[in-house]
A = this chain, B = another copy of it.
Amino acid sequence: MSSSTTADALNQRLADSGMRATPQREMVYEILLERRDHPTADELFARVKAKLTTISLATVYNCLDALVQCGLVRQVNYEREPSRYCCNLREHAHFFDTESGRIIDVDLPPEYVDRLRQVLPPGFVVHGIELGFRGIAPATLSASSAQ
């Protein structure tokens, strides 16, 4: 049920971008949805391999590229660390907790985003905004998403 609807949605999204659904892509996406904790490709590889034992790391990278390209996944970069992957499609910023290494999603209200771009002089065409905080999160916040 829920799993089949996400599979359908994935199928649709991939098709819209001229790509096919495959067991590997479905599994990578499913595992990414399972815990929304911004894993690296390597970490994801380990989790996926437990269920699809023959998958390779290169395929995980390829699947993630496909998911990013079709707009279902966001690639999150912090400094020069390995990329992390995020299946939260809402407009949000990232808080990088330097103590735990955790990434926390912070929802951004639409009017906040509008105000963000107002800092640009006129004439700039904006295709994307990236807002990141670095610091220490309240210890009590154990989930991977705030607000």
Interface residues of A (CB under 8 A from B): 75, 77, 79-80, 83, 93, 95, 98, 106, 108-109, 112, 115-117, 119-121, 123-138, 140-141, 146-147
Contact = CB atoms under 8 A, between A and B. Distances in A.
Per DSSP, chain A at the interface is: mixed
Given A106-B119, A112-B119, A120-B95, A131 B134 contact: no
- Most chain B CB neighbours (cut-off 10 Å) among A108, A125, A126, A134: A125
Contact of A115 (B106, B115, B134): B115
Contacts of A124: 95, 133, 135-138
A136 B127 CA distance: 8
A146 B121 contact: yes
B132 A130 contact: yes
